Amino acid sequence: MRRSTARWAMALLALALVTSAGAAGSGPLALKAGLFEPPRQAPDFGLLDSNGGELKISHYRGKVVLLAFGFTSCTAVCPTTLNTFAVARRKLAAAAADVQVIYITVDPQRDDSKRLKKYLGGFDPTFVGGTGTQEQLAAVRKDYGVSAEKQVLGDSYTYEHSSFTYLIDRSGRIRALMPYGHSPDDYVHDLTLLLQE
Amino acid sequence: MTRARWVIGSILAAASVVVLAVAGFSPIQGGSRDRIFAIPKGTWARRMAGDKVEILPDHIRLTLGVRDILVLRNQDDVPQIFGPTLMMPGQSFRLPFERAAEYTFACTAHASGQMTIVVEPNPTTPWARVRWRLVEFLSTFR
């Protein structure tokens, strides 16, 4: 009787350990970025990429995507963000092969494919840019909750635009949003976790 | 001054010292570190009916190590721009902060077009703890 009780106790203990281990493993990721729960599928789009081909987010399933919006004449936010991505990719070394940066312009008037390619190449030649018509880009921004407001400055203009970055996992789900200003190390931390999934 | 007044004054002074000592020297502990804001069900319908519904203040104060995780929840039936992000119905967004600073986010839900989150350092000195508790106390009346 006593032996049978002890066996039951051992079995229950083992079950509890297995259950708790599983629970810990399936918990939310401890990211530096803001985490979405539940994650939603990243809306797909059809834009022109900086190599002259079609840009669809679904082409990058299997990779972790950093998706940002901006424009090549931006002097404040975009150079910092893109440089942060470039440094993070270098730090990731071989693992960076599974990380794709996509940068979609909010300024199609100036940012054609060639200009995007040249601009992004200055940071990292693997970065891909996206452009299209005003209407196409406005529709993409609406799907992703991105704002961009044109501001005229004399003969020229600039844009006030959302400065965050979406982190999209290998399954094409929007997992997190990284606010502007985070360090390359924060990106390395989060990308490493997402790449391990 | 009568003796009774002197006694009452002494008791009040002693009680104030005790309260200040407790507020200053006892560590600040909280259960959850989450500061939660939720869009309740029916908000979109109320806005469409002309109600001015303000859910997210344009200034949010957080404290490192105490309450330093911003949690946004969309409990409505339609997608909502909430703080810095677009959220689907039933979705939550959990943003941790690790550095004391002032963060500004574009937020179309506010008249100013932006939302500011002030993340203060963990109050480690007695006076900082007293100040933190006082601000928390006063904020409950706002």
**ipTM value greater than 0.90:** no
Q: How many CB pairs under 8 A join A and B?
A: 50
Whole-angstrom distance, CA of residue B136 vs CA of residue B117: 16
CA distance linking residue A80 with residue A117, whole number of Å:
17
Q: Is A173 on the interface with B (CB under 8 A)?
A: no
- pLDDT at B6 > cutoff 60: yes
CA distance A39 to chain B (A): 8
Tell me what pLDDT residue A15 has: 42
**What is the pTM for the complete model shown?**
0.81
pLDDT surpasses 50 at A188: yes
The H-assigned helical ranges of B34-116 are 43-48
- pLDDT for residue B30: 66
The verdict on a CB contact (< 8 Å) between B106 and A147 is yes
The answer to whether residue A22 scores a pLDDT higher than 50 is no
Residue of B nearest to A166 (CA): B85
Lowest mean pLDDT among A74-78, A162-166, B3-7: B3-7
Domain map (residue ranges) of chain A: 31-196
CB A106 within 8 A of CB A148: yes
Angle (CA) A45-A46-A47 rounded to 5° is 110
pLDDT tier at B122, thresholds 50, 70, 90: confident
Superfamily name and number for A31-196: Glutaredoxin (3.40.30.10)
Cα distance between residue A160 and residue B111, in whole Å: 16
Residues in chain A: 197
Q: Which has more confidence, B19 or A90?
A: A90
Peptide bond into B89 cis (omega under 30): no
pLDDT digits (tens, 9 = 90+) for A32-55: 999 999 999 999 999 999 999 999
pLDDT of the residue at B51: 84
In terms of pLDDT, which residue wins out, B133 or B89? B89
Q: Round to whole Å and give the CA distance between A123 and B45.
A: 46
Looking at residue B132, its pLDDT comes to 75
Say how far apart CA B88 and CA B82 lie, in whole Å. 10
Contact B86 A144 (CB under 8 A): yes
Q: Residue A5: what pLDDT?
A: 57
**Does A38 sit within 8 Å of B91, measured CB to CB?**
yes
Give contacts of B85 with chain A, Cβ < 8 Å.
34, 145, 164, 177
Min mean pLDDT across A19-23, B10-14, B21-25 is at A19-23
Structure-derived torsion over alpha carbons of residues B55, B61, B64, B68, reported in degrees to the nearest 10: 0
* Partner-chain contact A38 B90, CB within 8 Å: yes
**Residue of B70, B84, B93 lying closest to A36 (CB–CB):** B93
The pLDDT confidence band at residue A9, using thresholds 50, 70 and 90, is low
